[in-house]
């Protein structure tokens, strides 16, 4: 099986320093493969470790065991051992992440927030702004908001900016954490279409979808994340 991202024997626990240093294991021996052109949906009860796994895959949490391999720049890279410079390059060129919340940048307009990762990859500012505007329009963000900072936007409006920024650069691997949260039915349909288009161009997608209808329409298969006995 060809793959774009592969986790092998992944483990992660947390130490609760305010509770006497108790160690809480969350992930153990996780083996996960995502192939080009498929969407793998993480399934499991709340608290099982789905969000922790996503954050490990993006490098926000350091894994304590195992490897996370990604195809980047013609080679394999291990996200567990990658240094900061390599992680920046991987996130710029290969690995995208749409979280549940937009990290609002003060005084920066929505259009520029969406365009920034494309410009970082070498696209001209004019072309990046044009693509950003097209995506924001497709996600039904009113044109009057394109040139305003998203700090005062509603949750749904901020999520649309977040989605446009995540889908704009055509990453080879995408991590989606509740991408349709805070969206109405019309914009959920847009996101479903964006996921289908990303798969069609060969992107590997790993996602958390609590909306069962969305999950059933976009996921090629489910990956079960079960709580560990110690964490149940």
Quick: pLDDT tens for 12-63. 998 887 777 788 889 999 999 999 999 999 999 988 899 999 999 999 999 9
Q: Which tokens is 109 given?
A: 């307009």
Residue with tokens 């305003």: 148
- Report strand pairing: 204-208 vs 221-224: unpaired
The burial class, CB within 10 Å (0-12 / 13-18 / 19+), for 45 is exposed
For the whole model, what pTM was predicted? 0.93
pLDDT average, residue stretch 197-207: 98
Give residue 47's pLDDT.
Answer: 84
* Structural tokens at position 103: 């990290």
**CA-CA distance, 192 to 142, in Å (whole number)?**
20
Q: How many CA atoms lie within 13 A of 181 on its CB side?
A: 17
The tens digit of pLDDT for each residue in 58-84 reads 999 999 999 999 999 999 999 999 999
């Amino acid at each position: 099986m060809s793959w774009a991202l592969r986790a092998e024997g992944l483990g992660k626990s947390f130490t609760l320093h305010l509770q006497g240093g108790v160690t809480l294991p969350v992930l153990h021996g996780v083996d996960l493969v995502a192939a080009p052109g498929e969407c793998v949906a993480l399934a499991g009860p709340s608290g099982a470790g789905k969000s922790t796994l996503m954050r490990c895959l993006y490098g926000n949490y350091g894994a304590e065991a195992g490897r996370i391999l990604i195809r980047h720049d013609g080679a394999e890279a291990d996200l567990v051992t990658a240094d900061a410079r390599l992680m920046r390059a991987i996130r710029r060129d290969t690995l995208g992440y749409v979280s549940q919340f937009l990290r609002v940048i003060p005084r920066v307009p929505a259009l520029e927030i969406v365009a920034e990762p494309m410009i970082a990859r070498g696209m001209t500012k004019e072309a990046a702004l044009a693509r950003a505007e097209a995506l924001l329009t497709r996600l039904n963000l009113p044109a009057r908001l394109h040139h305003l900072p998203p700090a005062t936007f509603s949750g749904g409006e901020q999520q649309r900016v977040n989605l446009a920024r995540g889908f704009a650069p055509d990453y080879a691997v995408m991590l989606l954490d509740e991408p349709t949260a805070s969206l109405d039915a019309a914009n959920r349909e847009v996101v479903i279409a964006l996921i289908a288009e990303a798969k069609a161009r060969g992107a590997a997608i790993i996602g958390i979808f609590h909306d069962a209808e969305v999950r059933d329409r976009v996921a090629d298969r489910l990956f079960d994340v079960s709580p560990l006995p110690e964490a149940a």
